[in-house]
């Protein structure tokens, strides 16, 4: 499900900011961007996310902004300064017109100023604690979206219940009309065929056109979907399977139907099933 969460945490060494984005995906796919100081946390971060989420493409970004107070006094790396100045002198010996290095240029050079290293262990613990808070926000947002999707899908399920109820009412009449049409078509051949064999063929045709079994299975699948919704935990994969089964029964109902009214019911069912199937892809 689509969700976003952002959480900031202050530490003695600076500010930590987590951002988590989750979009629809069939499986759990985690992409992380961590600062160099906390790169070693990646396996633990993946473990924590996997413990809370089972589906979705998750993008996680952790930013670390060192504080000025934690930086302490400016400390120069003399070895790096000497190497830089020696390189400058060598360059000017070949090209005297090149200007001398300014102090600000030297200070900006990588490695000239020694950065105070934070306590990585304590900083890592703070980052993981902030991640837990961010995950809680993300999960809460996904749950709110899931509740809205459930309302949408239960409304579609109610509409399918109504369509199946129509089919149950139409079925006896549709079967009778089919038998009458079949008898009328074969009436001209009754003198040429054995009456017992003719009756047997009529029964066989009627059985092939009987959609009672499909209607019963649709009703059973509706009950299973409601049961899945009532249970805690991930439901997306189970619902995805049930959507396939619903679609199979609706297709069979359409192909076996001998009455345009039953065909219309099957078409309406397939429309509703497709609407539900699209939303199931958003459910964990």
Chain position carrying tokens 């600000």: 104
Q: Are residues 104 and 53 in the same domain?
A: no
Q: For residue 50, what pLDDT is reported?
A: 92
Domain of residue 209, CATH code? 1.20.120
Answer yes or no: do 78 and 186 share one domain. no
Q: Are 23 and 44 contained in the same domain?
A: yes
Q: Which residues of 192-208 are buried (b: 16+ CB within 10 A; e: fewer)?
A: eeeeeebeeeeeeeeee
Are 157 and 31 part of one and the same domain? Answer: no
Domain span including residue 108: 73-114
Q: Which stretches of 41-100 are DSSP H helices?
A: 42-52, 68-71, 78-94
- Closest CA relative to residue 226, chosen from 136, 160, 134, 128: 160
- Residue 267 is predicted with a pLDDT of 92
Query: Which CATH number does the domain housing residue 27 bear?
Result: 3.30.230.10
Is pTM beyond 0.75 here?
no
**HSE-up (13 A, CA, CB side) for residue 154:** 11
Tell me: do 36 and 49 sit in the same domain.
yes
Q: The tokens of 73 are what?
A: 């006094």
Total residue count of the chain as it appears in this document:
284
* Pairing of β 75-76 and β 56-66: unpaired
List residues bridging with 133 in a β-sheet.
none
pLDDT tens, per residue, the chain with 284 residues: 688 999 999 888 889 999 999 987 778 899 999 998 899 999 999 999 999 988 889 999 999 988 765 555 667 778 877 887 888 778 777 777 777 777 777 777 777 766 666 778 889 999 999 999 999 999 999 888 888 888 999 999 999 999 999 888 887 787 777 777 766 766 666 655 566 666 665 666 655 667 788 888 999 999 999 999 888 877 878 888 999 999 999 998 888 777 788 889 999 999 999 999 888 877 77
Q: Is 81 found in the same domain as 65? A: no
Query: 136 and 8, same structural domain?
Result: yes
Total domains in the chain come to 3
57 and 86 in a single domain? The answer is no
């Amino acid at each position: 499900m689509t969700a976003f969460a952002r959480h900031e945490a202050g530490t003695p060494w600076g500010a930590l900011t987590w951002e988590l984005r989750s979009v629809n995906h069939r499986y759990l796919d985690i992409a992380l961007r961590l600062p160099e100081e906390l790169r070693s946390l990646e396996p633990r971060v993946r473990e924590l996310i996997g413990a809370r989420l089972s589906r979705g493409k998750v993008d996680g970004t952790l930013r670390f902004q060192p504080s000025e107070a934690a930086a302490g006094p400016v400390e120069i790396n003399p070895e790096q300064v000497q190497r830089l100045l020696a390189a400058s002198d060598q360059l000017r010996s070949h090209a005297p017109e090149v200007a001398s290095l300014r102090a600000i240029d030297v200070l900006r050079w990588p490695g000239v100023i020694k950065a105070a290293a934070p306590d990585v262990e304590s900083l890592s613990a703070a980052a993981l604690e902030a991640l837990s808070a961010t995950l809680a926000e993300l999960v809460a947002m996904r749950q709110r979206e899931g509740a809205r999707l459930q309302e949408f899908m239960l409304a579609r399920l109610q509409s399918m219940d109504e369509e199946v109820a129509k089919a149950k009412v139409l079925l006896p009449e549709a079967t009778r009309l089919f038998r009458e049409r079949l008898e009328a078509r074969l009436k001209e051949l009754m003198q040429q065929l054995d009456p017992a064999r003719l009756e047997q063929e009529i029964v066989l045709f009627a059985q092939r056109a009987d959609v009672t079994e499909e209607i019963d299975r649709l009703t059973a699948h509706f009950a299973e979907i409601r049961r899945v919704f009532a249970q805690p935990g991930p439901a997306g994969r189970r619902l995805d399977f049930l959507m396939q089964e619903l679609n199979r029964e609706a297709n069979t109902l359409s192909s076996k139907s001998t009455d345009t009214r039953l065909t219309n019911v099957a078409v309406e069912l397939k429309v509703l099933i497709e609407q539900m199937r699209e939303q199931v892809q958003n459910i964990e």
